[in-house]
Amino acid sequence: MCGIMGYIGNRQAQSVLTNGLRKLEYRGYDSAGIAVFTGETIAVRKKTGRLAALEQQLAASPLHGSLGIGHTRWATHGRPSDENAHPHVDQSGKFSIVHNGIIENYLALKRELLEKGVTFTSETDTEVIVHLLAELYAGDLVEAVLQLTRKIRGAYALGVITEHEPDKLVAVRVASPLIIGLGDGENFIGSDIPAVLEYTRDVCILEDGDLAILTKDDVTILNIDTKQLINRERVQIDWDQEQAEKAGYDHYMLKEIYEQPRALRNSMAGRIDEAGKTVTFSGLQLRPLLNDIDKVFIVACGTAYHAGLVGKHVIERLARLPVEVDVASEFRYRRPLISEKTLTIVVSQSGETADTLAALREAKRLGSNVLAITNVVGSSIAREADRVITTLAGPEIAVASTKAYTTQLLVFYLLGIYLAQERQTLDEQLRIALIEALQQLPEQVESILANADEIRLFAESIKQEKSIFFIGRGIDYAVSLEGSLKLKEISYIHSEAYAAGELKHGTLALIEEGTRVIALATQEELYEKMLSNIKEVKARGATVLGISSAKTIELHRAVDEVWLIPSTYPLFTPILSVIPLQLIAYYTSLALGNDVDKPRNLAKSVTVE
């Protein structure tokens, strides 16, 4: 990840590539690079940091040629560095590629290539692709790329060039976005439409399994499995630049809500074995610690803290380890009882959250091993933790977190299953069933997103409310907290979440005729108790929206409106039940005319205590 640009035509590729990459800066990145065929060889320039650093390098040592590929990288495998930046080349320097996505089986492929004497210069999964491509090449670039797609497994978008065939630019899409820009005597590839808008408004959006062969005068598209020619619709883009960055969505937050299925798939990639029976975290090296761990702390702030509350349920239920969850800003000051037998898990989208970073340092000072869950590979938290699991959500621009939260949940699910299988606290048959259910979650999220219209209507009905309550029991209470936070931070409507069993201990005093209540009822073992709590607020005049996967007459009779989510294991419902809550917050803020992406008084990354 994160941005791809490619060009073939008559212009100087260097300026086209850097201009295109600049239009993709909004996606977030930690390094940038380009590769250009100069007429004799493929020359590469790449640099850690902002695009400006690359442009300074190019000003001192420009590249001349009309075929090239470029990339802005969001680190996944390997820290941000010049060596890990894209494009990558093979040992001969005759092949170059850029890549977005994850190659799940890269370690096995890397071992095979090392045994054959291939020398690697980076820590990335991407470098495996270019060495493998060079090995497969036998005079036909397209055929070599087709063979390559049969050997690599995962999610990827590729841009490929070789000095052997300087009249071609080859692109492939498998579960990672890629578009073609169609020009006059020139053609382009890009990971998003803004990359090409300066040069053309005619685009073709590749679909999964498409391989595109670009020359300066033509574009041919094949299916990678059947090799059959495919006609893809030419679309004329009439968006302005800002709209294009949002892929046509009105706001980054809405775009990021709809990106969640892909983010979940990316975060799962390479972490479930091919047979779908075990969870694996390559390089995590947690196993040596497991016999000594007797307690887990989860420490985070805001939305990440809410993910940690779900993580507590998951780890305790599956791995049978006691878990405490702390708000990071409070953690240091209560003198937590931590020892070398404690595993501290810190969670942060940005990896720069000041309170969480301070908590990490305190945990290490007290002798704890620290595992970080973060979305940013080269962040301070990622560097200072003993072990890191990246969420692979991709850059999140809107202040209100959505896809970072659901991918944090997914990592907790994977981690819980991993700890359980290592500690042998989970029946194998149940573990396999849980993994299968996890793999279905992205598609189930898509099914919820496909029915967002009723949520928009609900948001219109609550925009004038002064106070809204969320209630739930067990793991639903953790999700209620997140739903309440989302609503208050971007709509500015006062909102509170309560454990439903606590209503009678004071909160019912706030319920009066017409009070709006959103009730989560997804936990089968607590279902009857939750119905009783719903009836308590109804009896005092509340208007109740119920969110559940249970199609029962009792629930329909108890509430004013029901939204059903797909059925899954009770532990996994938070990923599904939070989607309508995110959309409620978004559409309510929209209805009120607020700045959805930049709510007042808030910042994306909290870097001060």
3-state secondary structure 210-262: EEEEECCCCEEEEECCCCCECCCCEEECCCCHHHHHCCCCCCHHHHHHHCHHH
Residue keyed to tokens 């470098």 = 127
Q: Taking Cα atoms as reference points, which of 42, 46, 65, 206 lies closest to residue 133? A: 42
> What Å distances lie between residue 254 and 29, 342, 351, 460, CA to CA?
21, 39, 23, 17
Q: What residues form DSSP beta bridges with 212?
A: 171, 221
- How far apart are the two ends of the chain, measured CA to CA in Å? 31
For 601: left if phi > 0, alpha if psi spans -120 to 50, otherwise beta; the answer is left
Residue the block writes with tokens 């005729």: 513
DSSP states of 396-456 as a string? --SSS-SHHHHHHHHHHHHHHHHHHHHHT-S-HHHHHHHHHHHHHHHHHHHHHHTT-HHHH
593-598 long-range Cβ contacts below 8 angstroms, 24+ apart: 594/490, 594/491, 594/492, 596/250, 596/251, 596/253, 596/254, 596/398, 596/400, 596/490, 597/251, 597/252, 597/253, 597/397, 597/398, 597/399, 597/400, 598/399
| Residue 234, beta-bridge partner list | 204
Tell me whether strands 516-520 and 543-548 are parallel, antiparallel or unpaired: parallel
With contact defined as beta carbons under 8 Å apart, do 2 and 74 qualify?
yes
- Report the run of H or E that residue 310 belongs to, with start and end: helix 302-319
Determine contact, residues 267/407, Cβ cutoff 8 Å. yes
- Do 228 and 177 meet the contact criterion of CB atoms below 8 Å apart? no
Helix (H, G, I), strand (E, B) or coil at 348: strand
Catalytic sites, residue numbers: 2, 604
Evaluate whether 544 touches 519 at the Cβ level (below 8 Å): yes
**What is the DSSP code string of 126-160?**
HHHHHHHHHHH-SS-HHHHHHHHHHH--EEEEEEE
